[in-house]
Amino acid sequence: MNNIKATITGVAGYVPEYRLTNDELAQMVDTSDEWIMTRIGIKERRILKGEGKGTSDMGAEAVKSLLEKTNTKPEEVDVLINCTVTPDMQFPATANIISDKVGIKNAFSFDLNAGCSGFLYGLETISKFVESGKYKKAVLVGADKMSSIVDYQDRATSPIFGDGAGAILVEPTTDESIGIMDSKLQSDGVGRIHLHQKAGGSVKPASHETVDAREHYIYQEGQPVFKWAVSKMADVSVEMMERNNITPDDLTWLVPHQANNRIIEATAKRMGIKKEQVMINIQKFGNTTAATLPLCLWEWEPQLKKGDNIILATFGAGFTWGSMYIKWGYDGK
Ligand code: UT7
């Protein structure tokens, strides 16, 4: 066993300019600002506009700004993983396209899909590459253009999702006081009946009929997903605290997936922590799927200090869920 740990050494994010407000959404479907704020906690979400623009464009913006702020040359990057459920196209991987757009030429790159848990699954995966000692500069991207699969005639799903991208640099460290300390990730495919995309895959390739039936959009049964999310995300986060002897006072930040403010509050309550210890930006960006965790880290980065105890937690399609304990690696500004 070597003593190399993986640590996050930089964070960047990108959100498109266009803000889809609840009031504008209420002109498209039968909903209201009051219902969305009470039941979900979202005020507006960003939407990527423009012909020919996709997930890779947002991912590339995030990676470009990450490389700049960490003084990393594109050719130094060894591996890039892009987590997404909305790839530019079925193949090739959007990670390949992002790498091409930012000039990353000496790396291998691939996509990872674990629904809204994509970024945490990606961090678990990429950290193992780094801990092996073989890879020195690893880039992890979480990027989703959810507006490409949201049905803006469906009031049950259209308020929830937004577009965005985040990226982090992961590097090796032998400093025992920082880095990725512990994690627990899980999945249960039984949950697929409650949250999926009906057509466009190998089971039901896209056709006139599937498009007419609007089967290329997100299908979600909100209530079962809600129940699973509340119990699984809280259980695994509490377990993360217990097995690492972290008391509520020891925890600097909880970084939860931003799917519903009520799910976030329930998780925080079960962990016994205060609202002030939780990163929440769902009101501004909605659920950006694989991008929620890095967008939180990006926004809070200036406040973070070396050694901060942080727990990341997610739940998403699959079902997939998990929690990770990290000790932050550097002082923000
Ligand atoms: O990130 C991936 C994981 N996804 C999640 O974590 C999402 C989990 N689920 C949820 O967040 C919630 O279930 C939703 C936000 C999707 C829905 O909230 P809810 O409190 O579970 O509402 P509901 O589906 O039980 O619907 C309650 C009522 C229904 O009307 P009736 O039957 O009581 O008359 C719905 O038709 O609210 C109605 N409704 C709406 N009303 C106004 C549903 N959507 C809307 C809407 N505006 N947008």
Atom 39 of ligand 1: nearest residue by CA position: 156
- Closest ligand 1 atom number to CA of residue 156: 44
116 lines ligand 1 (CB under 6 A): yes
316 lines ligand 1 (CB under 6 A): yes
Tokens for 88? 């530019």
In tens, the pLDDT along 57-104 reads 999 999 999 999 999 999 999 999 999 999 999 999 999 999 999 999
55 lines ligand 1 (CB under 6 A): no
Please, are residues 282 and 258 in contact by the beta-carbon 8 Å criterion?
yes
Going along the chain from its start, the domains and CATH numbers come out as 5-173 (3.40.47.10), 179-327 (3.40.47.10)
- Closest ligand 1 atom number to CA of residue 229: 6
pLDDT in tens, the chain (333 residues): 578 999 999 999 999 999 999 999 999 999 999 999 999 999 999 999 999 999 999 999 999 999 999 999 999 999 999 999 999 999 999 999 999 999 999 999 999 999 999 999 999 999 999 999 999 999 999 999 999 999 999 999 999 999 999 999 999 999 999 999 999 999 999 999 999 999 999 999 999 999 999 999 999 999 999 999 999 999 999 999 999 999 999 999 999 999 999 999 999 999 999 999 999 999 999 999 999 999 999 999 999 999 999 999 999 999 999 999 999 999 997
Measuring CA to CA, which residue among 326, 56, 47, 48 is closest to residue 170?
326
Q: Separation of 147 CA from ligand 1 center, angstroms? A: 18
31 lines ligand 1 (CB under 6 A): yes
Cβ neighbours, 10 Å, residue 177: 10
Q: Separation of 196 CA from ligand 1 center, angstroms? A: 16
Q: Tell me the angle at which helices 55-69 and 94-102 cross, rounded to the nearest 10 degrees.
A: 50
- Closest ligand 1 atom number to CA of residue 222: 13
- Backbone phi and psi for residue 85, each to the nearest 5 degrees, phi listed first: -110, 0
Please, are residues 254 and 278 in contact by the beta-carbon 8 Å criterion?
yes
Measuring CA to CA, which residue among 137, 144, 98 is closest to residue 119?
144
- Report CA-CA distances (Å) from 329 to 60, 121, 212, 227, 250: 24, 20, 50, 34, 16
Active-site residue set: 116, 257, 287
Cis peptide bond prior to 110, omega within 30° of 0: no
Tokens for 189? 């495919």
Q: What is the DSSP string of 278-329?
A: B---HHHH-B-GGGHHHHHHHHHGGG--TT-EEEEEEEETTTEEEEEEEE--
Q: Separation of 36 CA from ligand 1 center, angstroms? A: 9
Please, are residues 329 and 312 in contact by the beta-carbon 8 Å criterion?
no
DSSP state of 217: S
DSSP state of 114: B
- Report CA-CA distances (Å) from 207 to 8, 121, 201, 213, 316: 43, 32, 11, 10, 27
293 lines ligand 1 (CB under 6 A): no
- Closest ligand 1 atom number to CA of residue 31: 47
Q: Separation of 180 CA from ligand 1 center, angstroms? A: 35
- Report CA-CA distances (Å) from 121 to 141, 184, 217, 241, 291: 11, 10, 24, 19, 12
Tokens for 309? 């105890």
The torsion defined by the Cα of 224, 251, 246 and 269, in degrees rounded to 10, comes to -40
Q: Separation of 222 CA from ligand 1 center, angstroms? A: 6
